Amino acid sequence: MTGEVLLAGASVRSLAESAVAAGFRPWCCDFFGDRDLLQLLSQCGGRYLRTLNSFAELPAVLETVPQQIPLCWSGGLENAAEILEQSGSGGRRVCGATAAAVRAVRTWQNLQSWVEGTGVRFPETISSTGKVPSGDWLLKPVRSAGGAGVRRLREGDEWLRAAADAGDGTECLLQRYITGAPISMVFHAGADQLLLLGCSLQFCGWRSLGAVSGDALWCGNGGPLRLPDVLQRQAVRLALRIVQAAGLSGVFGVDFLLSAGELWLLEVNPRIPASHWIYDAGQRGLAVRLQLTGEADEADRVGDLTGFRAQFVVWYGEPTGPAGELLKSVDLPTGMRLADEPVSANFSAGVPACSVLLSAETFGAAIGQLDKAAGAETRLQEFWQQTSADLSLAMQTYQRHLPTD
């Protein structure tokens, strides 16, 4: 082991696996305390500090952790920049984006200005209105993660009433709805270089995975994808602009919509995104290694990645639904495993229940593994069949929206 690291976020299981692969001993706190996370920490000599009810509890947790142990944070904390400021106020090293950089990339007016001259576009966005203007729109909470609370609205809807329904006092904006394929790209901004780690499909609002609360609810990623050179150059040009303008550093994600051969910027995630698992495979804990040490080599570049990997996030609906059945002893085919397993099944509808991780040599082989699971497990046959169909449709949509020349 090369040292200890404190991991904090909504869910840190995948981050802990990356830390161990990179040679670090993780101390962890998150909202779930999943069974496989606890098992990993027991095996590697790490620690699980506590299950958080909110990020407001994090400063108290940090008081119990030696100051020399750096903090590596993940999903959800981008909505609590003030907590990040407190976390580093006592001299602790907070890896990755600063609170100021987080605030900069979470301001949509900045995103709108940064795309200029890059070839990337930004959807029409408005921050206040009475009636929804003509056309289709997305209602997006300003402080959100994983597509939670995003709703589709149409002309004439009362958007202020819809915003009130999104949560207590939640600030929302309207963004023009555009059809296309959602994709995610992961970068590392070091002292003197920007490294593209990879690109993946983004799974949003899949009913097969129990996402009944919104079309944009994050349900996982699959890849790596190889974008056409012209689009990759545009994305890198934009990422450089973001790094320079916001002072962003470390590993971060950028979400795009690929529509009719063009990239549309949706949001910037100023921390290690969940899709890091796709690029961590066989890469010596790439995400945490880069976040802590900043050391990258040629083997970390996107062009060296092969195969197809996917994470399917299954949302809890009913005990007899796919999540409840998956959490019973189900034998998955080779190349698939269950992850983020809850210690207790006593949770409410609308929360992530578990994940299925899939690794295959090719995309076609990945579809074959899902079809094999459908043939082997009667109770979940419809679940596997629909997930296979949704994955095929996601790839077809991506290919249909690629540039034609």
- Better pLDDT: 354 or 294: 354
Q: Which residue has the tokens 């079309």?
A: 215
DSSP assignment of 111-129 equals HHHHTTTTS-B---EES--
Whether pLDDT at 344 is above 80 = no
- Return d(Cα 206, Cα 219) in angstroms, integer: 7
Q: pLDDT value at position 129?
A: 61
Whether pLDDT at 186 is above 50 = yes
- pLDDT-derived band at 303, boundaries 50, 70, 90: very low
Output the pTM of the full model: 0.91
- pLDDT-derived band at 379, boundaries 50, 70, 90: confident
Q: Hey, which residues does 185 pair with through a beta bridge? A: 199, 254
What are 106-157's pLDDT values in tens digits? Answer: 999 999 999 999 999 999 988 766 666 777 877 777 766 656 667 776 655 6
* Angle in degrees, CA 282, 10, 102, rounded to 5: 90
- Return d(Cα 77, Cα 165) in angstroms, integer: 23
- Return d(Cα 169, Cα 300) in angstroms, integer: 42
Pairing of β 125-126 and β 218-225: unpaired
Q: pLDDT value at position 312?
A: 96
Average pLDDT, stretch 44-63?
95
Highest mean pLDDT among 194-198, 262-266, 341-345: 262-266
CATH 1.10.1760 correct for 3-95:
no
CATH of 181-400, one of 3.30.470.20, 3.90.1070.10, 1.10.287.130, 3.40.50.2300: 3.30.470.20
- pLDDT-derived band at 247, boundaries 50, 70, 90: very high
Q: pLDDT value at position 136?
A: 81
Angle between helix 13-21 and 286-293 (nearest 10): 70
- Better pLDDT: 158 or 277: 277
Checking 157-165 for CB contacts under 8 A at 24+ apart, the result is 157/131, 157/132, 158/130, 158/131, 158/132, 159/129, 159/130, 159/131, 159/132, 160/130, 163/139
Q: pLDDT value at position 353?
A: 87
Average pLDDT, stretch 81-97?
90
What are 212-232's pLDDT values in tens digits? Answer: 766 678 899 999 999 999 999
- Better pLDDT: 164 or 338: 338
H or E stretch at 354 = strand 352-360
Q: pLDDT value at position 148?
A: 65
- pLDDT-derived band at 44, boundaries 50, 70, 90: very high
Q: pLDDT value at position 326?
A: 81
Angstrom CA distances, 251 to 9, 47, 99, 254, 375, stand at 15, 24, 15, 10, 39
Average pLDDT, stretch 27-52?
96
- In this structure, the number of other CB atoms found within 10 A of the CB of residue 131 comes to 11
- pLDDT-derived band at 168, boundaries 50, 70, 90: very low
- Return d(Cα 375, Cα 42) in angstroms, integer: 35
Whether pLDDT at 163 is above 80 = no
Q: pLDDT value at position 183?
A: 98
Whether pLDDT at 7 is above 90 = yes
What are 380-393's pLDDT values in tens digits? Answer: 899 999 999 999 99
